[in-house]
């Protein structure tokens, strides 16, 4: 019986808790994209809401801002830098106030989404869309299925 109990004797292998500092994992970097179409508009509301969301989620925000540039313009300096950083792996997720801040046409938006998928970068539009968590990835599929269905004249005419 004592031999069996000796097998469970952990006194020799027990070590007291260390006082060494354990470093927290680095916060995921989120690209916060802000855009307004005219110079007389500002991004204050977008900025405050998105920074609050980033803080709530424990993310480190990096601001990318295009001021006075239409979303119909495919060549936007801050968006181009953001996408280059996504391609290079410097950000893990992109957050925008609304999808129309990123792209105004379905074609442009779909191209950006495909680029993000290839780079394995999530997209979050608070209260609307979140592809950063795997369980929410289906939201993206549903959004684009709905968008394609109701913006494609052929599909729409078949439904009527």
Residue 101 lies in a domain: yes
Residue 112 in domain: yes
Residue 4 token pair: 């069996």
Tell me whether residue 3 is in a domain: no
> Which tokens sit at 92?
């893990």
Residue 9 lies in a domain: no
User: Which pLDDT score is estimated for 151?
Assistant: 45
Distance CA 34, CA 83 (A): 14
**DSSP letters along 82-125, please?**
HHHHHHTTS-SEEEESSHHHH-SSHHHHHHHHHHHHHHT-EEEE
Which residues constitute the domain of residue 102? 29-155
pLDDT tens digit string along 97-133?
Answer: 988 899 888 888 889 989 998 999 988 888 665 555 5
What are the pLDDT digits (tens) for 33-83?
999 999 999 999 999 999 999 999 899 999 999 999 998 888 999 999 999
**Is 28 in a helix, a strand, or coil?**
coil
Tokens 């494609």 belong to: 152
DSSP symbol at 136: G
Residue 1 lies in a domain: no
DSSP H helices in the chain: 2-7, 44-57, 77-87, 99-102, 106-119, 137-151, 153-159
Report pTM: 0.68
Going by C-alpha positions, the residue among 100, 63, 93 that lies closest to residue 78 is 63
For the chain, the domain total comes to: 1
Longest dimension (CA), the chain: 85
Residues 6+ apart with CB under 8 A from 155: 148, 149
Q: Is residue 23 part of a domain?
A: no
> Looking at the annotation, which residues are catalytic?
37
Inside any domain, residue 7: no
Any domain includes 79: yes
CATH number for position 34:
3.40.50.1390
The mean pLDDT value for 127-155 works out to 50
Quickly state the pLDDT bin for 152 (edges 50, 70, 90): very low
- The pLDDT confidence band at residue 157, using thresholds 50, 70 and 90, is very low
């Amino acid at each position: 019986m004592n031999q069996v109990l000796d097998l469970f004797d952990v006194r020799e292998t027990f070590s007291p808790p260390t006082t060494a500092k354990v470093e927290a994992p680095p916060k995921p970097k989120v690209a916060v994209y802000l855009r307004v179409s005219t110079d007389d508009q500002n991004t204050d509301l977008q900025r405050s809401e998105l920074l609050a969301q980033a803080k709530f989620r424990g993310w480190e925000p990096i601001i990318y801002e295009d001021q006075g540039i239409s979303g119909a313009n495919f060549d936007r300096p801050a968006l181009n830098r953001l996408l280059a950083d996504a391609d290079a792996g410097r950000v893990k997720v992109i957050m925008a106030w609304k999808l129309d801040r990123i792209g105004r046409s379905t074609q442009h938006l779909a191209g950006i989404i495909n680029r993000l998928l290839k780079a394995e970068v999530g997209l979050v539009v608070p209260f609307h869309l979140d592809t950063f968590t795997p369980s929410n990835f289906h939201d993206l599929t549903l959004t684009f299925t709905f968008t394609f269905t109701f913006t494609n004249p052929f599909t729409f005419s078949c439904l009527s």
